[in-house]
């Protein structure tokens, strides 16, 4: 069977001098170190291409995670030269410094092995932030109509393209300093649900994110919005939750809030 490998294609072969110095994190759990590999530089290649080349051509034991390679699945995020990025859509040319790349596992998450981060804490926080959809109607009832122009729907639409890549979570210093902080992705998910009229108990979502380690822990550094590869704006979602939470605290009676 023949697999087409663009990195082996002679037509895009380049001279011997075009070599990338790539240091890749190797190790299991908390221990490890950077190992340097020399990878041929190509005219057009992504960081994920580089990692795949190392795994296929030099060291098959290199562990990393990817699936779709086109920026849909959100599984290939890594730290590239100290910044969190979706590696499948990050061109090497845009991020190399002096022909060198440093690739590590995502920040703020435990490392399983090499470049594969343990995503469990990230998704556990989705649940903790009320991120599970609890419908207001059963399947026996007619579907609730939601107008696309409805202000809540417009607000929710801004956040629903999240692919759960955890780039924002890795960029956030508040997560780094407060390990139990829910983080930008989970809070943005909560904000979309809070604005979704099909959710049964939207006050419950707001209560889940108004507690300790919720939206009020955000220090407004904006790294989430700065690094979101889908150009979403978790900072505005968290600000929206803060506003809704403060309004609920000030203007709703205790019974209403329960």
Partner 1 sequence: MIRPHRTHPLWFAYMLHRLSGLGLALFLPVHLYVLAMALTRPASLDRFLAFADNPIVKLAEFGLVFLLAVHLFGGLRLLALEFLPWSGRQKSAAAAALAGAFLVSGSFLLRAV
Burial class (CB in 10 A: 0-12, 13-18, 19+), 14: exposed
Do the beta carbons of residue 21 and residue 100 sit within 8 Å? yes
21 is an interface residue for partner 1 by CB under 8 A: no
Nearer to partner 1, 163 or 235 (CB): 235
**Options 1-9, 42-50, 58-66, 216-224: segment touching partner 1 (CB under 8 A):** 216-224
CB of 92 to partner 1, least distance (A): 16
Q: Which of residues 155-214 bind partner 1 (CB under 8 A)?
A: 170-171, 173
Nearer to partner 1, 62 or 209 (CB): 209
**Options 41-49, 57-65, 114-122, 228-236: segment touching partner 1 (CB under 8 A):** 228-236
How many residues touch partner 1 under the rule CB under 8 A: the total is 24
Interface mask (CB under 8 A) for partner 1, residues 54-93, using x and -?
Answer: ---------------------------xxxx---------
Phi-psi category of residue 163: left, alpha or beta, with phi > 0 → left and psi -120 to 50 → alpha: alpha
Do the beta carbons of residue 175 and residue 223 sit within 8 Å? no
Strands 83-86 and 33-40: unpaired
Q: Where do contacts with partner 1 occur on this chain (CB under 8 A)?
A: 81-84, 107, 170-171, 173, 219-223, 225-227, 233, 235-236, 239-240, 242-243, 246
């Amino acid at each position: 069977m023949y697999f087409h490998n663009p990195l082996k294609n002679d037509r895009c072969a380049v001279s011997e001098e075009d070599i990338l110095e790539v240091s890749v994190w190797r190790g299991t759990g908390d221990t490890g170190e950077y190992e340097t590999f020399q990878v041929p530089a190509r005219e057009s290649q992504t960081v994920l291409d580089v990692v795949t080349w190392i795994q296929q051509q030099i060291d098959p034991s290199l562990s990393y995670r990817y699936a779709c390679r086109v920026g849909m699945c959100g599984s290939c995020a890594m730290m590239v030269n100290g910044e969190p990025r979706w590696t499948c859509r990050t061109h090497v040319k845009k991020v190399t410094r002096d022909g060198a790349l440093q690739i590590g596992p995502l920040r703020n998450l435990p490392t399983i092995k090499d470049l594969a981060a343990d995503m469990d804490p990230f998704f556990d926080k989705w649940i903790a932030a009320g991120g599970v959809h609890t419908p207001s109607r059963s399947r026996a009832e007619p579907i609730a109509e939601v107008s696309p122009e409805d202000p809540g729907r417009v607000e929710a639409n801004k956040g629903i393209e999240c692919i759960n890549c955890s780039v924002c979570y890795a960029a956030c210093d508040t997560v780094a300093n407060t390990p139990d902080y829910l983080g930008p992705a989970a809070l943005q998910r909560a904000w979309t649900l809070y604005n979704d009229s099909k959710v049964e108990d939207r006050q419950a979502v707001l209560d889940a994110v108004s507690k300790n380690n919720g939206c009020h822990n955000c220090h407004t550094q904006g790294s989430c919005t700065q690094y979101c590869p889908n150009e979403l704006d978790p900072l505005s979602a968290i600000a929206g939750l803060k506003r809704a939470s403060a309004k609920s605290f000030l203007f709703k009676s205790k019974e209403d809030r329960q």
